[in-house]
Amino acid sequence: MAEVVATWVDGVRFVATGTGGHSIVTDVPDSKTGQARGFKPSELLLAGLAGCTGSDVVDILRKQRQEVTGLEIKVIGHQASDPPWAFEMVEIEYTFRGENLNETLIKRAIELSESKYCSVGATIAAKARIVNRFTVEG
């Protein structure tokens, strides 16, 4: 079970706190200035996906004795043009760094995350198409 409590601060800004006591600010851009003082809620969903799949992939690759020294995950969400602006497609771009990384094992780790382990990805995939790609830097 997961639980988050969001407390309204002002405007449309909230501070969300998880069960571990960690907090994050959500906000939407001001209609006049375009500025926000926190993550847009839709960005938080994408950040959750990056963290979820990243945890899975790193854990799987460590178990396969792959020496990953860095991983950057870029998540791009394509939203519908009409309310509620649901995500229609999500792209995940993984950039791995490490020595002698096996691309077959990387591909399999990503597939396992997507098909079996990442709860955020499974939730998004019920509504949107998820595509992924990766590169390896020496």
pLDDT above 70 as % of the chain: 100
Strand-pair partners of 116? none
Residues 25 and 75 in one domain: no
pLDDT score of 138: 76
Say if 89 falls within a structural domain.
Answer: yes
Residues 8 and 54 in one domain: no
CATH number, residue 103: 3.30.300.20
CA end-to-end span of the chain: 39
Say if 35 falls within a structural domain.
Answer: no
How far is 18 from 65, CA to CA, in rounded Å? 32
Residues 69 and 103 in one domain: yes
Residues 80 and 12 in one domain: no
Residues 124 and 59 in one domain: yes
Confidence of residue 88 (pLDDT cuts 50, 70, 90): very high
Residues 14 and 73 in one domain: no
Residues 14 and 76 in one domain: no
Say if 81 falls within a structural domain.
Answer: yes
Residues 55 and 88 in one domain: yes
pLDDT tens for 89-106 read 999 999 999 999 999 999
Q: Exposed, middle or buried, 57 (CB in 10 Å: 0-12/13-18/19+)?
A: buried
pLDDT score of 62: 97
Residues 70 and 105 in one domain: yes
Q: Is the pLDDT confidence value at 82 over 80?
A: yes
Mean per-residue pLDDT for 54-73?
98
How far is 87 from 77, CA to CA, in rounded Å? 6
Say if 34 falls within a structural domain.
Answer: no
Residues 103 and 79 in one domain: yes
- What tokens were used for 70? 């860095």
Task: Tell me the CA distances in angstroms from 14 to 24, 29, 32, 59, 93, one per residue in order.
Answer: 8, 13, 19, 32, 29
pLDDT score of 31: 87
pTM as predicted: 0.93
The total domain count for the chain is 2
Residues 19 and 83 in one domain: no
- DSSP letter assigned to residue 115: I
Residues 4 and 68 in one domain: no
The set of residues, in sequence order, having a beta carbon less than 8 Å from that of 88 and lying 6+ positions away, is 78, 79, 80, 128, 129
Domain that holds residue 11: 1-29
